[in-house]
Structure 1
Amino acid sequence: MRDLDETDLEILELLAADARRPYKEIAEHVGLTPPAVSDRISRLEEQEIIQGFTIDIDRGKLRGDVPVLVELEPTPDAVADVYAAAGELEGVEHVFEGMDGRVIVHATIPNADARSWLEREVDLGTVTGYDVTLCNRSDRVTDLAATGFALECVVCGKEVTNDGVTATVNGEIKTFCCPSCEDRYVSRYESHRDALE
């Protein structure tokens, strides 16, 4: 798997802000051609960094449903079953399993009767308790700053800044904080390669 470079991070940031952004617009922003952007996005999908393009639907506005957070406390032997059943409930947007075995569900339900909604899929006999929180508002934060993905120099481990350099070594792109680290890496690689031949 190839390491991400600054261009990959810029592409991810642009797509996180608007996944429908045309490749031509991305290409103009990052200084590539649209086919090169397409190739990079395909590679990011193959590496499972991008796991899909989706839309964010406000079901409350769509059908007038009530947004809720439900915290279920399954018995220890029922965590997997409760997690799976919760994912089958109508209107579920997210299901989480905490390290302590609690199952947390974010959903929109047709009315405020959470118990009857839960009973459609979840065996409440396997749950020691549950809490329902009606949501007043929520925001989906999709902003992705490239600073959260700072590259590190493969030689010294320092963060690569705008002064950094990249080099292709044996078909792989490597990132360095400065030309001297690049020279050290390439020299070591060549000496190892020569020793093997």
Structure 2
Amino acid sequence: MRSPDETDLEILRLLLEDARRPYSEIAEHVGLTPPAVSDRVARLQELEIIQHFTLDVDRRKLQNHVPVLLHLEVDPKAVERVFEHISTLEETEHSFQQLDGSIVAHVNAPNQDVHSWFREAIDVADLVSYDIKPLAHYEWNTGINPADFSLSCAVCDNTVTSDGETARFDGEITVFCCSSCKQMYERRYESIQEGAE
């Protein structure tokens, strides 16, 4: 199995800059043909390194919303519920649950009265305290670090090197660090399949 390499990393960087960039343009940058780039992108999707292509809307350009940063100190019994609720709000861009149980969220609140919106959107009885700060500017950067660019074995979680192997199960590519892990996975898979019949 070929491990993801520097060319794959460069393809990812180029797609992060512009996911609509034509494969012909990417091919020029990385010294491959457009079909070879397409094959590599398809492989990165099968390996779930690329999960989907998204639209990045600059909500600052939309009317009637103001970007704010919420910092919520939450009652420990309500942390999971509050985090799930704030994460599903239409206005929420990003939400983070910190190790201490506090929650930080970047939201685009309605412009008229942010505090009224907040009290309607969040059950303040679950909060110990909260802080709402308007954002003057924000930027989200998704970086790719070569050190983070590795695959883990489906059996033992070891890093898969160029000696690793792949197999398809139910149409999905699965990666293994060695043939013994692959065989172990195949035996488990066959056992589960036999039990399901």
Structure 1 and Structure 2 fold alike (TM over 0.5): yes
Query: Are the aligned partners of 1:90 and 1:109 in contact in 2 as well (CA < 8 Å)?
Result: no
How far does residue 35 in structure 1 lie from its aligned partner after superposition? 2.1
Are residues 170 and 72 of structure 1, via their aligned partners in 2, closer, same or farther at CA, if it must alter by over 3 Å? closer
Query: Are the aligned partners of 1:69 and 1:134 in contact in 2 as well (CA < 8 Å)?
Result: yes
What does the per-residue CA deviation read over 1:92-138, in whole Å, with 9 as the maximum and x for residues that have no partner? 11111111111111011112633322233322111111111110111
What does the per-residue CA deviation read over 1:19-41, in whole Å, with 9 as the maximum and x for residues that have no partner? 11101111122122222211211
| Structure 1 unaligned blocks of 5 or more | 153-166, 173-197
Mapped partners of 1:125, 1:151: distance in 2: 41
Are residues 115 and 38 of structure 1, via their aligned partners in 2, closer, same or farther at CA, if it must alter by over 3 Å? same
| Structure 2 unaligned blocks of 5 or more | 150-160, 167-197
Query: Are the aligned partners of 1:5 and 1:151 in contact in 2 as well (CA < 8 Å)?
Result: no
Partner of 1:139: 139
What does the per-residue CA deviation read over 1:60-99, in whole Å, with 9 as the maximum and x for residues that have no partner? 3111411100011111111110011102323211111111
Mapped partners of 2:77, 2:3: distance in 1: 40
CA RMSD of aligned residues (A): 2.6
Identity %: 49
Query: Are the aligned partners of 1:89 and 1:120 in contact in 2 as well (CA < 8 Å)?
Result: no
Give the SS at the match of 1:63.
coil
Are residues 112 and 2 of structure 1, via their aligned partners in 2, closer, same or farther at CA, if it must alter by over 3 Å? farther
Mapped partners of 2:83, 2:148: distance in 1: 36
Query: Are the aligned partners of 1:71 and 1:130 in contact in 2 as well (CA < 8 Å)?
Result: yes
Matched, 1:61 2:61: yes
